Amino acid sequence: MTTIIPSYIQGSWFTPETDAGARLVRDAATGEPIARVSSAGLDLAGALHYARTVGQASLGQLTFHERALLLKQMAQALTARKSELYELSSRTGATKNDSMVDIDGGIGVLFTYSSKGRREMPNTTVYLDGPVEPLSKDGSFSGRHIYTRLPGVAVQINAFNFPVWGSLEKFAPAFLAGVPTLVKPATPTGYVSEAFVRILAESGLLPEGSLQLVSGALPGLFENLRLGDLVAFTGSASTAESLRSHDAVLTGGVRFTSETDSINASVLGPDAVVGTPEFDAFVRQAVAEITSKAGQKCTAIRRMIVPNGAVDDLIGALATRIAERIVVGDPRAEGVSMGPLVSLEQRGDVLAQAGRLVAGGGEVVIGTVEPRAGVGAYVEPIVLRFADNRADAVHSIEAFGPVSSVLGYETVAEAVELVARGGGSLVTSIATHDPAVAVELVTGMAAYNGRVLMLDRDDARTSTGHGSPVPHLVHGGPGRAGGGEELGGIRAVLHHMQRTAIQGSPDLLTAVTGVWHAGATAANTGTHPFRKSLADLAIGDQVVSGLRTVTLDDIEHFANFTGDTFYAHMDEEAAAANPFFPGRVAHGYLLVSWGAGLFVDPEPGPVLANYGLENLRFLTPVSPEDSIRVTLTAKQITPRVTDEYGEVRWDAVLHNQNDETVATYDVLTLVAKEGAWV
């Protein structure tokens, strides 16, 4: 008797009392029953409510950095127990390498979002988008854009092919945004997802309600979704279509994105003839994409688009490499490099689709579309050749297994047109060492792709590969690829947030954003801000210096000392002929250096280091006998969650004796969190 895979709902595990209607899941290689899957009796409306109340509340107490740190700890907890996941993963037909992509790849997404969250987001709960937009002459009314998290739940419906990575790629950005997740893995491999959720639940790291798991179907779920919720779907175009047309999405304001079938391409450049490193790299990559995960990858290469003269060479090279390198079998057996498909149903589906490709004009040149005898959902690698490169079938039929087709092209422009015929893809790779070919291909087809990988002799060894989405870059594509953007660094976090334009006075903009705005209240508290640790420092703490006069001697001294004897500082006639200067002027770097001298408090104290300047602009030239002063204001305070110090961004403005703005910039410092200095 097999067990029923439980769900993790409202903070505890739920197993249906009856197995009526439960779906049986089998080992992909041996056909042995593994478990049954059912969500019968599950209170889905209650789960959504729990996420929106308890989950939102617990995540809302954490800043971006605190959430990011938890993601890292979760990655460590999963790493410590990943052998359990590998064990289960092999039952899905995955080889060790396939499992690595799924399990280590998924853990890697958590690590990446953890570090990106702490480096690229503020340690608050509001994310700023773009600069201040001045809307009044005197600065009393301005606008800006902010992102705040969506108030609902992120429902993530996943495909069977990556039960760990597929879930974590969506969970990480949702969690960082502060939106609780309800994940629904695909039935055939949901037992692996259940295992990683169990590890996370047992780690004690999950804020209450931040992650729930539904093993099995989601009856009635969409009826309970509402504005503020979002759905991220991965799977077939037909399921996506039916979910997308639900009222909750059409008129209820539920954000819906999908990642569906994608007829990805790989283009061999006209320069990449047999014997070039690019041809070899193309072949290696193509065989890897056909066989890894037995071709059950949304990013796998379905169309190899190559110069007409290279078609035979390519097919020969593919056949040789497949014969030499690929051993199909039980992934637990020694030496096996390609496992079975996930299930017999999936095998039937893949062979039927391959049959449709044949009916649509494809000639099988490697492998066979006939089912292999015996147990296990095995399919040998299949390569088809299309004499008619515009045949509809090759651009529209996805056989979700180790199946790929070869098409010839005459000109680069024709290659671009063929890529576009896929109707929108997740990824296209090109193999060329010719910059002109790369420019024509990439600019022509980028709009039809979520990602384009350029392969040549210089990056062939270090390339992450055509089929591997990386968390830093967009994963998703236009058109039939579904329009999603599941990864892409902070972009994917922002997908879980609402962008809102806010308008108001400097004080209110400061209060809402946590960033000091010019014109907002600023205070000279009597204690120099460089004497305050983060515990005492406040946004708006300010130093205003006295004036310092610049002489010609100062300019010449600086010029000779630094070697910067540019004519604008040294040659009166040449400087005066320059449209920007009245005559010789002070170096901008001299003024910025003086700015530091004017605002600094020199004794040892909580300010540990100056780590740079940002947004430096020189606005008004400074002539000999002009004077400058500096105003330095604490603009943004970002304590680091893992360190005893944090970052302070200071707003710096240099003025001249006429109160004209000479320069503006941000000074970046590291400041101790605690400690007393006098």
Please identify which residue in the block is written with the tokens 């449709």: 356
Q: Does the annotation count 298 as an active-site position?
A: yes
- Residue among 398 and 541 whose Cβ is closer to ligand NDP: 398
Closest CA to 266 of 474, 481, 441, 444: 441
CA 195: distance to chain centroid? 24
> Does residue 160 interact with ligand NDP by CB under 6 A?
yes
Cα-flanking dihedrals φ and ψ of residue 485, to 5°?
A: -145, 75
Catalytic residue among 289, 298, 485, 647: 298
- Residue among 190 and 376 whose Cβ is closer to ligand NDP: 190
C-beta atoms surrounding 578 within 10 Å: 14
- Residue among 201 and 218 whose Cβ is closer to ligand NDP: 218
Q: Which of 28, 34, 157, 438 binds ligand NDP (CB under 6 A)?
A: 157
Please identify which residue in the block is written with the tokens 């995960």: 293
Please report the DSSP string for 229-293 in residue order: BEEEEES-HHHHHHHHTSHHHHTT--EEEEE----EEEEE-TT--TTSHHHHHHHHHHHHHHHGG
* CB-based burial label for 616 (10 Å; 0-12, 13-18, 19+): middle
Q: Which of 71, 186, 192, 301 binds ligand NDP (CB under 6 A)?
A: 186
> Does residue 78 interact with ligand NDP by CB under 6 A?
no
| Residues whose CB is less than 8 angstroms from the CB of residue 602 and which lie 6 or more positions away in sequence, other chains included | none
Measured from the CB of residue 159, what is the shortest distance to ligand NDP in angstroms? 3
Contact 404, 321 (CB under 8 A): no
Site string for ligand NDP, 165-184 (x = CB under 6 A): -------------------x
Contact 187, 160 (CB under 8 A): yes
> Does residue 218 interact with ligand NDP by CB under 6 A?
yes
Query: What is the DSSP-derived secondary structure letter of residue 385?
Result: E
- Residue among 397 and 662 whose Cβ is closer to ligand NDP: 397
Burial of 312-346, coded b for 16+ CB within 10 Å and e otherwise, reads: ebbbebbbebbeeebebbbbeeeebbbbbbbbbeb
Length of the chain: 678
Measured from the CB of residue 413, what is the shortest distance to ligand NDP in angstroms? 29
Q: Token digits for 193? A: 């997802």
Q: Which of 236, 468, 527, 664 binds ligand NDP (CB under 6 A)?
A: 236
> Does residue 298 interact with ligand NDP by CB under 6 A?
yes
Site string for ligand NDP, 531-570 (x = CB under 6 A): ----------------------------------------
- Residue among 260 and 285 whose Cβ is closer to ligand NDP: 260
Measured from the CB of residue 613, what is the shortest distance to ligand NDP in angstroms? 44
Q: How far apart are the first and last CA of the chain?
A: 74
Of residues 355-414, which lie at the interface with ligand NDP (CB under 6 A)? 398, 400
* CB-based burial label for 618 (10 Å; 0-12, 13-18, 19+): buried
Q: Which of 27, 98, 259, 541 binds ligand NDP (CB under 6 A)?
A: 259
Stretch that binds ligand NDP, among 151-159, 329-337, 428-436, 465-473 (CB under 6 A): 151-159
Stretch that binds ligand NDP, among 130-138, 159-167, 377-385, 489-497 (CB under 6 A): 159-167
Q: Is 505 left (phi over 0), alpha (psi -120 to 50) or beta?
A: beta
- Rounded CA gap, 102 and 99, in Å? 5
Measured from the CB of residue 426, what is the shortest distance to ligand NDP in angstroms? 7
Stretch that binds ligand NDP, among 4-12, 135-143, 155-163, 437-445 (CB under 6 A): 155-163
Please identify which residue in the block is written with the tokens 């409202």: 10
Measured from the CB of residue 393, what is the shortest distance to ligand NDP in angstroms? 15
- Residue among 395 and 635 whose Cβ is closer to ligand NDP: 395
Measured from the CB of residue 160, what is the shortest distance to ligand NDP in angstroms? 5
> Does residue 159 interact with ligand NDP by CB under 6 A?
yes
9-13, Cβ contacts within 8 angstroms, sequence gap of 24 or more: 9/42, 9/43, 9/46, 9/47, 9/50, 9/212, 9/213, 9/214, 10/43, 10/46, 10/47, 10/50, 10/54, 10/209, 10/212, 11/50, 11/54, 11/208, 11/209
Q: How many positions of this chain bind ligand NDP (CB under 6 A)? A: 23
Give the 3-state DSSP-derived string for 64-111, with helices as H, strands as E and coil as C: HHHHHHHHHHHHHHHHHCHHHHHHHHHCCCCCHHHHHHHHHHHHHHHH
CA separation, residue 393 to residues 24, 384, 405 (Å): 33, 12, 10
Closest CA to 378 of 326, 342, 349: 342
> Does residue 212 interact with ligand NDP by CB under 6 A?
no
Secondary element (H or E) of residue 200: helix 190-203
Query: What is the DSSP-derived secondary structure letter of residue 446?
Result: G
Q: Does the annotation count 87 as an active-site position?
A: no
Site string for ligand NDP, 187-206 (x = CB under 6 A): x-------------------
Q: Which of 125, 181, 260, 533 binds ligand NDP (CB under 6 A)?
A: 260
Measured from the CB of residue 260, what is the shortest distance to ligand NDP in angstroms? 5
- Residue among 187 and 404 whose Cβ is closer to ligand NDP: 187
- Residue among 243 and 634 whose Cβ is closer to ligand NDP: 243
Catalytic residue among 194, 259, 398, 485: 259
Measured from the CB of residue 60, what is the shortest distance to ligand NDP in angstroms? 28
- Residue among 262 and 669 whose Cβ is closer to ligand NDP: 262
548-549 vs 645-656, strand pairing mode: unpaired
> Does residue 349 interact with ligand NDP by CB under 6 A?
yes
Please identify which residue in the block is written with the tokens 């180790």: 402
Secondary element (H or E) of residue 349: helix 344-359
- Residue among 399 and 654 whose Cβ is closer to ligand NDP: 399
Measured from the CB of residue 155, what is the shortest distance to ligand NDP in angstroms? 9
Chain residue whose CB lies nearest ligand NDP: 235
C-beta atoms surrounding 80 within 10 Å: 11
Q: Which of 105, 235, 295, 331 binds ligand NDP (CB under 6 A)?
A: 235
> Does residue 440 interact with ligand NDP by CB under 6 A?
no
Measured from the CB of residue 157, what is the shortest distance to ligand NDP in angstroms? 5
- What is the set of active-site residues? 259, 298
| Residues contributing to the site for ligand NDP (CB under 6 A) | 157-161, 184, 186-187, 217-218, 234-236, 239, 243, 259-262, 298, 349, 398, 400
